[in-house]
């Protein structure tokens, strides 16, 4: 039989990439200074020395945001981080709308961090913070192209029409494509002024925004062209794996590397001294094995013999820690947080209702394990990494290594999942520490799947105690008291229209490293608030939907401890839409239940509500359907909204049944997807997502709304089906429901 010729992934990419020159037009996205741009004399390749399919030999450079090749291909360079949430497609659609571009010609590339600009992705803020900037970017580029066409034809600009990447001379069949015009564009000296004053399209004239546009990155992912940092290959690259101290804040005593150094391909073994930069940035003591392949590095790590000083945290008992947190909740007042504009002490009331809800530590378990490539020099360094905050990487490198920020070069890659984990800079620092210890070698450091789970930056453990006072069937006072492990802070968005809303926060030191986890504190606080409101409604013999609506007047903005005020009308609208689509109020059969929840995610100023249907089948809880409604303002791409909601729902249900973590002697016991489970496809419920109609002038946040409403609506549905109230996650699907409080 004739053997087929095999082509490597990278050879395929190189052979199928498109060559050519063209124009580079761009804008630095300054979140704090709308309209300002910085002109770079040379376009920066985001993957220097690597095989980059977007390389632009001979291209004219104006700034570093938008490129147009001579063949008409358009490349948008992003300063927001793509981790599978689709922000690259969303932001590109905004710029393409104003550019009047042919959507089929839009391609994505990833920009390096911009000095002195916020290069951070999180909080469901990418689209809302870049809406105006991206529109102006596209509109300014279009104005340059039209002016160039008008000059070619010796006519006024208003005799030209731009559409689908072509400029047409009105009243004739004359056209010039953007690719033809690109190299002839002249950028005027008053570029910044023109950019800030460029006219924008009316919403009624949008052709792309609001339509279902296919993801721009999926083809690259399928063809192996998506530039994940784990795929990076650079001449002279070494590979590193690290044996880390199994207990947080422990230290290395000594080690024997004799067996490791004899592994074929292993070149060096070096110790790494851990460091704590801040509460969310901690590198553990470890031993790095450097080799000529990842496999050799991993095998060398396995062969190491290490002796660790596990420190005090090896003695922490999770059950005792949990009990102490409950005791603190009763004994300590904690830090007061302003929620309501005016809070009076409530002394005259008929009844008090109080319950406590527990949200556990949670693992991220991204598909792409943590990794970073780095090369250390005495007064400079270079890092290739998938990160949600290149600013934190640069700042913490300066803080720890003493390298000036301007000498820290970071190449940003998209990643196979982020969920807040890649907001940490620790793994980038760790790779640089390995390079330093190895004498400046160019090193790619990669976690194994087991490393990725055992040394995860976990979502904080959190207790929320809600207490209300009732007078004549109405809530007249509401306090949220919180105990949280040491990362982040209490959001305290008590968003129902009741008087005297207050919050208190108590910080504790746990036994592991903390980090952001999709929806962050909104997870625990949405879960607790909406389960509590359900309990109050039933205690007052009120329908859970009707009770919520009674506290959500349609035309009120409520102060909720955030720079945005909560728009109760938008939250009400989402709640009504979800209830209507899910047939709230219909009679259910025995063993079935519906649960409802609503939540505003104020960082993104987005609003959501969900109704969940569950049933008991063969003694096991089955989540049958989740109906979710979202109000995220003006919708850029409905497909992206729906996908984000679907992903968030699956994420939350996984946490409900399989979340948390397991500790023994201070060490995480979970190691892979067999013991840190996520929903399998046969467990995924039917999901309906409905987008609220509105007249909002701009888009708001999307990505972190689904989680909070899903936790609560599922648990409320379980109560409706079983009579068992859920106040602690995770739970057992076989009805062995944990109860407390």
What distance, in Å, lies between the first and last C-alpha atoms of the chain?
70
Q: Which two tokens stand for residue 39?
A: 């002109």
Contact 464, 537 (CB under 8 A): no
Neighbour count for residue 189 (Cβ, 10 Å): 7
**Residue at token pair 């809302």:** 128
Q: What are phi and psi of 10, to 5 degrees?
A: -70, -35
Residues β-bridged to residue 338? 502
Measure the CA–CA gap between 444 and 427, rounded to whole angstroms.
Answer: 11
Contact 578, 627 (CB under 8 A): yes
Contact 707, 612 (CB under 8 A): no
Consecutive 10-residue runs of the chain (741 residues): their mean pLDDT?
A: 39 36 40 28 31 42 69 85 93 95 91 70 90 90 93 97 98 96 80 80 96 92 90 96 96 98 98 90 96 98 98 92 96 94 95 98 96 97 95 95 95 94 95 98 98 95 97 97 86 96 94 90 96 98 98 97 96 98 96 98 96 94 98 97 97 97 94 96 97 94 96 98 96 68 37
Phi-psi region of 198 (alpha: psi -120 to 50; beta: other; left: phi over 0): beta
Domains of the chain: 9-223 (3.30.365.10), 233-313+370-446 (3.30.365.10), 462-722 (3.30.365.10)
pTM: 0.91
Pick the closest to residue 417 from 392, 453, 460, 442 (CA basis): 453
Contacts of 61 (CB under 8 A, 6+ apart): 24, 40, 41, 42, 43
Contact 142, 100 (CB under 8 A): yes
3-state secondary structure of 24: strand
- The pLDDT of residue 505 is 96
Neighbour count for residue 61 (Cβ, 10 Å): 17
Element (H, E) at 677: none
- The pLDDT of residue 62 is 43
Element (H, E) at 509: none
DSSP one-letter string for 361-424? -B----SS--EEEEEE-SS-EEEEE--SBHHHHHHHHHHHH---GGGEEEEE---S--TTGGG-
Chain centroid to CA 447: 20
Q: Write the DSSP symbol of residue 105.
A: G
Residues β-bridged to residue 432? none
Task: Give ∠ CA 243-248-251 in degrees, rounded to 5.
Answer: 60
3-state secondary structure of 353: strand
- The pLDDT of residue 5 is 38
Neighbour count for residue 187 (Cβ, 10 Å): 15
Contacts of 119 (CB under 8 A, 6+ apart): 79, 113, 389, 390, 391, 412
Burial of 309 (0-12, 13-18, 19+ CB in 10 A): middle
Element (H, E) at 502: strand 501-507
- The pLDDT of residue 624 is 98
Measure the CA–CA gap between 691 and 642, rounded to whole angstroms.
Answer: 8
Angle between helices 638-658 and 706-722 (to 10 degrees): 50
Chain centroid to CA 639: 17
Measure the CA–CA gap between 340 and 558, rounded to whole angstroms.
Answer: 8
Question: What are the Cα distances from residue 185, in Å, to 64, 149, 269?
Answer: 15, 9, 54
Measure the CA–CA gap between 437 and 330, rounded to whole angstroms.
Answer: 48
Angle between helices 521-539 and 706-722 (to 10 degrees): 40
- The pLDDT of residue 406 is 93
Measure the CA–CA gap between 57 and 702, rounded to whole angstroms.
Answer: 38
DSSP one-letter string for 151-218? HHHTS-GGGEEEETTEEEETTSS-EEEHHHHHTT----TTHHHHHHH-----GGG-SSTTS----SSH
Measure the CA–CA gap between 319 and 307, rounded to whole angstroms.
Answer: 27
- Nearest-Å Rg of the Cα atoms of the chain is 27
Q: Which two tokens stand for residue 320?
A: 């005792």
Neighbour count for residue 134 (Cβ, 10 Å): 29
3-state secondary structure of 724: coil
Q: Which two tokens stand for residue 53?
A: 């399919």
Phi-psi region of 164 (alpha: psi -120 to 50; beta: other; left: phi over 0): left
Measure the CA–CA gap between 74 and 67, rounded to whole angstroms.
Answer: 6
Contacts of 409 (CB under 8 A, 6+ apart): 112, 380, 381, 382, 383
3-state secondary structure of 667: strand
Measure the CA–CA gap between 388 and 384, rounded to whole angstroms.
Answer: 13
């Amino acid at each position: 039989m004739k053997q087929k010729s095999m082509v490597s992934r990278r050879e395929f990419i190189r052979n199928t990439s498109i060559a050519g020159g063209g124009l580079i037009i761009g804008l630095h996205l300054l979140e704090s200074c709308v309209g300002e741009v910085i002109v770079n004399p040379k376009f920066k390749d985001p993957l220097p020395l690597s095989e980059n399919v977007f390389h632009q030999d001979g291209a004219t450079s104006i700034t570093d945001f938008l490129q147009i090749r001579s063949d008409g291909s358009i490349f948008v360079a992003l300063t927001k981080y793509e981790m599978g949430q689709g922000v690259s497609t969303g932001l590109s659609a905004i710029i393409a709308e104003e550019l009047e571009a042919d959507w089929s010609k839009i391609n994505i590339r990833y920009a390096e961090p911009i000095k002195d600009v916020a290069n951070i992705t999180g909080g469901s803020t990418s689209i809302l913070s870049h809406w105006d900037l991206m529109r102006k970017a596209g509109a300014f580029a279009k104005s340059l192209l039209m002016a160039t066409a008008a000059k070619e034809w010796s006519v006024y600009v208003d005799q030209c029409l731009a559409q689908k990447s072509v400029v047409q001379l009105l009243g004739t069949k004359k056209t010039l494509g953007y690719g033809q015009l690109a190299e002839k564009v002249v950028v005027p000296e008053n570029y910044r002024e023109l950019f800030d004053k460029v006219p924008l399209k009316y919403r009624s004239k949008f052709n792309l925004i609001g339509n279902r546009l296919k993801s721009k990155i999926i083809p690259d992912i399928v063809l192996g062209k998506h530039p994940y940092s784990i795929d990076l290959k650079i001449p002279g690259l070494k590979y590193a794996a690290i044996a880390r101290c199994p207990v947080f804040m422990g230290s290395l005593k000594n080690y024997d590397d004799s067996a490791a150094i004899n592994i074929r391909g292993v070149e060096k073994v070096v110790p790494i001294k851990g460091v704590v930069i801040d509460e969310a940035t901690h590198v553990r003591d470890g031993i790095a094995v450097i080799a000529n392949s990842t496999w050799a590095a991993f095998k060398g790590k396995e062969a190491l013999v290490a002796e660790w000083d596990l420190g005090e945290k090896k003695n922490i008992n999770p059950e005792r820690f949990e009990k102490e947190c409950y005791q603190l909740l009763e004994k300590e007042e904690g830090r007061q947080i302003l929620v309501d504009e005016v809070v009076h002490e409530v002394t005259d009331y008929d009844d008090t209702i109080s319950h406590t809800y527990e949200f556990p530590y949670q693992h991220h378990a991204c598909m792409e394990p943590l990794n970073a490539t780095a090369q250390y020099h005495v007064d400079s360094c270079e890092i290739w990494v998938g990160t949600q905050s290149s600013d934190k990487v640069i700042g913490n490198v300066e803080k720890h290594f003493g390298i000036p920020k301007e000498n820290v070069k970071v190449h940003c890659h998209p990643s196979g999942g982020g969920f807040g984990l890649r907001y940490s800079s620790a793994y980038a620092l760790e790779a640089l520490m390995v390079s330093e210890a190895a004498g400046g070698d160019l090193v790619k450091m990669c976690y194994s799947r087991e490393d990725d789970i055992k040394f995860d930056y976990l979502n904080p453990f959190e207790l929320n105690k809600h207490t209300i006072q009732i007078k004549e069937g109405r809530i007249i006072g509401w306090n949220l008291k919180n105990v949280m492990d040491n990362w982040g802070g209490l959001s305290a968005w008590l968003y129902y229209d009741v008087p005297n809303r207050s919050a208190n926060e108590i910080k504790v030191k746990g036994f592991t490293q903390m980090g952001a986890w999709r929806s962050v504190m909104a997870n625990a606080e949405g879960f607790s608030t909406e389960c509590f409101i359900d309990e109050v409604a039933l205690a007052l013999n009120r329908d859970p939907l009707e009770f919520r609506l009674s506290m959500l007047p349609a035309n009120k903005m409520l102060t909720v401890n955030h720079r945005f005020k909560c728009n109760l009308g938008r939250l009400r609208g989402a709640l009504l839409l979800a209830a209507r689509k899910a047939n709230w109020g219909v009679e259910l059969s025995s063993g079935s239940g519906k649960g409802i929840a609503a939540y505003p995610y104020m960082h993104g100023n987005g609003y959501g509500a969900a109704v969940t249907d569950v049933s008991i089948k063969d003694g096991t809880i089955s989540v049958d359907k989740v109906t979710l409604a979202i109000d995220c303002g003006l919708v850029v791409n409905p497909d992206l909204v729906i996908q984000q909601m679907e992903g968030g729902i699956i994420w939350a249900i996984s946490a409900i049944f399989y979340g948390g973590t397991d500790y023994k002697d201070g060490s995480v016991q979970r190691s892979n997807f067999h013991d840190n489970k996520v929903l399998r496809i046969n467990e995924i419920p039917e999901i309906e997502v409905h987008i609220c109609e509105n007249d909002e002038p701009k888009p708001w946040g999307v990505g972190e709304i689904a989680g909070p409403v899903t936790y609560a609506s599922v648990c409320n549905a379980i109560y409706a089906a079983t009579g068992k109230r859920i106040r602690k996650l995770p739970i057992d699907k076989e009805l062995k429901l944990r109860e407390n409080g």
